[in-house]
């Protein structure tokens, strides 16, 4: 029986149909770029200090001295969470005493910010932090909102994988795009931090679900030579483009509600794509829906202006595929054999560690020296060469060696940051961006690698489960960034060490470079290594070994 790619070879690799699918699916990822990390600006914490009531009968001198000084980051700055007792200051001001001359300020009793806070408007006009005073005793709520978003991403990764394998890639893609847009719009009208966070969790569920569905849909529709281009440059470059738009939007729109509205409206542009983007023929075939799959293939042939064979699937192939299509697959099938169980466990660990590094560094941009908008833009821009390099590596080198090299680079650079003198701030930022470069490259390649390891019948479930595991790391990533409050280098030491360990783990994964994309779990066993292949498949092994490992070298933009 011929495989799907052999059956549909008459369509060509880069016709009008493939170009349409490539760019539309890639464009559907743009909102993920600016929505996924929007919390950097939505929950930005400006400089703040305790407010003194405007009606307080204090002299200007005492009003300026009402905030105690404290050592922070090696500098003496006004306290953010305490002030001198207001009733004491009123008495001293009424007596005509002068602060620092007649009164030793260090001897005065302090109190918390009973009248709220005054926030600097230099960077942000308003954020959820200034809206609901998420500072001091409530400063844990900022990172908690971020973690709840990633909890939603975690749930979405788990649910969308199974829903997509059951109801189709296209249905899940557009339903989750709608979910992300609708709940993000409702979020604008939040009246409390609790309401904002609940809807942020729901936005997270849709955010990752449409990413995975679009990724798998493109992987299954596009041919060998274009698949790698789509996974590394198509999806990822468009994601980075959306990420680059985030600081641009935020720079010109500094009110969090208006910013969120501006980030939500582009979701409406994808409604017409429902009538353009097709369902995955591979998925339809795996479900036994051959007529629908053949209709899509014939329509693609018409768009590409190529001749369609009278019979695309012969009766014997239909019968064999039908028996496969009727089989129901669940998350338990990712543990059916020793081989697929080992791959699943290693993928879970790998995705989790890479996610900690990627999101930890992305969320840490406001804590870097310099302008927060410039740092965020640099963090986004560095992803573009990272994706290009990962594409080149995947075209010319084995998967596991490419990923290991990227992870070793990212991890080692982060470990070196602690050796940089504190006054050379530009070098520290450069090393952080270089670490982001390595980890982003690995993040790009791990999607391709995982998608190639799992067969069609459980591919979306396998990628979804791996992505779900990575979200455990992303849930923790905000707190990796906040560890910097205790030790400036601790986040980089932890992320760097974990990244190096994940690079070592990658070397033990099977190699999928040059292998055909498996459609069934049985075919998956054939590409894992000779020790998993039964003797009866020797003929197929010989054929696989003769395949050109340079199949991606013919890819062109």
What are the pLDDT digits (tens) for 81-92? 898 888 888 888
**Which residue intervals of 364-455 are DSSP H helices?**
372-381, 383-396, 399-416, 425-453
Q: Over the stretch 235-272, which tens digit does the pLDDT of each residue have? A: 888 888 999 999 999 999 999 999 999 999 988 888 88
Structure-model confidence comparison of residues 488 and 21, the more confident one: 21
Residue 323 has pLDDT above 70, yes or no: no
Cα Dmax for the chain: 102
524-534 average pLDDT score: 43
Structure-model confidence comparison of residues 530 and 521, the more confident one: 521
In the structure, what pLDDT confidence band is assigned to residue 304 with cuts at 50, 70 and 90?
Answer: confident
Q: 494: Cβ–Cβ under 8 A, 6 or more apart, which residues?
A: 480, 483
226-233 average pLDDT score: 78
CA distance 45 to 80: 11
Residue 552 has φ and ψ, to the nearest 5°, of -90, -5
Residue 346 has pLDDT above 70, yes or no: yes
Q: Over the stretch 380-392, which tens digit does the pLDDT of each residue have? A: 999 899 988 888 8
130-145 average pLDDT score: 88
- pLDDT in the model for residue 527: 37
Q: What is the pTM of this model?
A: 0.78
Residue 85 and residue 110 in contact, taking contact as beta carbons nearer than 8 Å? yes
% pLDDT > 90, the chain:
13
Residue 117 has pLDDT above 80, yes or no: yes
Which of 407-439 are b and which e, b meaning 16 or more Cβ less than 10 Å from the residue's Cβ?
bbbbbbbbbebeebeeeeeeebbebbbbbbbbb
CA distance 418 to 519: 47
46-68 average pLDDT score: 84
Angle subtended by helix axes 256-264 and 169-187, to nearest 10: 160
Residue 465 and residue 334 in contact, taking contact as beta carbons nearer than 8 Å? yes
Residue 179 and residue 206 in contact, taking contact as beta carbons nearer than 8 Å? yes
Domains and CATH numbers, the chain: 1-44+124-313 (1.20.1250.20), 48-119 (no CATH), 329-530 (1.20.1250.20)
Radius of gyration from C-alpha coordinates of the chain: 27
In the structure, what pLDDT confidence band is assigned to residue 540 with cuts at 50, 70 and 90?
Answer: very low
DSSP-assigned letter for residue 47: -
- pLDDT in the model for residue 105: 80
Helix, strand, coil percentages, rounded to 5, for the chain:
70, 5, 25
**Which residue intervals of 454-537 are DSSP H helices?**
456-482, 490-506, 521-526
| Vertex 412 angle, CA 408 and 413, to 5° | 120
Q: Over the stretch 404-425, which tens digit does the pLDDT of each residue have? A: 889 999 888 888 887 777 677 7
- pLDDT in the model for residue 247: 93
In the structure, what pLDDT confidence band is assigned to residue 366 with cuts at 50, 70 and 90?
Answer: confident
Lowest average pLDDT, out of 14-18, 120-124, 154-158, 196-200, goes to: 154-158
50, containing H or E segment? strand 48-50
- pLDDT in the model for residue 319: 46
Q: 9: Cβ–Cβ under 8 A, 6 or more apart, which residues?
A: none
- pLDDT in the model for residue 260: 93
């Amino acid at each position: 029986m011929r495989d799907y790619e052999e059956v549909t070879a008459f369509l060509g690799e880069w016709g009008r149909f493939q170009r349409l699918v490539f760019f539309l699916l890639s464009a559907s990822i743009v909102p993920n770029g600016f929505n996924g990390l929007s919390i950097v600006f939505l929950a930005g914490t400006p400089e703040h200090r305790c407010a003194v009531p405007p009606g307080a009968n204090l002299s200007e001198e005492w009003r300026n001295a009402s905030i105690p000084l404290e050592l922070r980051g090696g500098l003496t700055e006004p306290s953010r969470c305490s002030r001198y007792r207001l009733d004491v200051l009123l008495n001293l001001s009424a007596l005509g005493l002068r602060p620092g001359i007649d009164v030793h300020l260090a001897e005065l009793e302090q109190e918390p910010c009973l009248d709220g806070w005054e926030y600097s408007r230099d960077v942000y006009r308003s954020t959820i932090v200034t809206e609901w005073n998420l500072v001091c005793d409530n400063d844990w709520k900022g990172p908690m909102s971020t973690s709840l978003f990633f909890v939603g991403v975690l749930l979405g990764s788990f649910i969308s994988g199974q829903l997509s394998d059951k109801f189709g890639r296209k249905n899940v893609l557009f339903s989750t795009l709608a979910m992300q847009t609708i709940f993000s719009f409702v979020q604008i009208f939040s009246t409390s931090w609790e309401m904002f966070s609940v809807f942020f969790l729901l936005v997270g569920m849709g955010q990752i679900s449409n990413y995975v569905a679009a990724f798998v849909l493109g992987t299954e529709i596009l041919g060998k030579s274009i698949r790698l281009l789509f996974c590394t440059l198509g999806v990822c470059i468009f994601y980075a483009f959306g990420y680059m738009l985030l600081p641009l939007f935020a720079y010109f729109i500094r009110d969090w509600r208006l910013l969120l509205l501006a980030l939500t409206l582009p979701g409406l542009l994808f409604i017409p794509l429902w009538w353009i983007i097709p369902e995955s023929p591979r998925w339809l075939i795996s479900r036994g829906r051959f007529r629908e799959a053949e209709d899509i293939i014939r329509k693609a042939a018409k768009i590409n202006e190529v001749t369609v064979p009278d019979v695309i699937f012969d009766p014997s192939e239909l019968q064999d595929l039908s028996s496969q299509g009727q089989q129901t697959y669940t998350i338990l099938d990712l543990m059916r054999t020793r081989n697929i169980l080992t791959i699943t466990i290693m993928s879970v660990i790998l995705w989790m560690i890479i996610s900690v590094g990627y999101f930890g560094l992305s969320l840490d941009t406001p804590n870097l020296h310099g302008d927060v908008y410039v740092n965020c833009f640099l963090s986004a821009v560095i992803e573009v060469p990272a994706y290009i390099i990962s594409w080149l590596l995947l075209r010319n080198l084995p998967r596991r060696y490419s990923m290991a090299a990227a992870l070793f680079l990212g991890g080692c650079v982060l470990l070196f940051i602690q050796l940089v003198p504190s006054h050379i701030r530009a070098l520290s930022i450069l090393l952080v961006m270089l670490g982001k470069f390595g980890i982003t490259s690995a993040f790009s390649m791990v999607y391709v690698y995982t998608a190639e390891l799992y067969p069609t019948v459980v591919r979306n479930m396998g990628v979804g489960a791996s992505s779900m595991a990575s979200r455990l790391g992303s849930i923790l990533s905000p707190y990796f960034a906040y560890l910097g409050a205790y030790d400036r280098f601790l986040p980089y030491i932890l992320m760097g060490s974990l990244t190096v360990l994940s690079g070592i783990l990658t070397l033990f994964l099977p190699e999928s470079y040059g292998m055909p994309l498996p459609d069934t779990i049985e075919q998956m066993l054939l590409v894992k290594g000779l020790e998993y292949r039964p003797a009866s498949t020797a003929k197929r092994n010989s054929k696989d070994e003769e395949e050109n490992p340079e199949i991606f070298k013919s890819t062109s933009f």
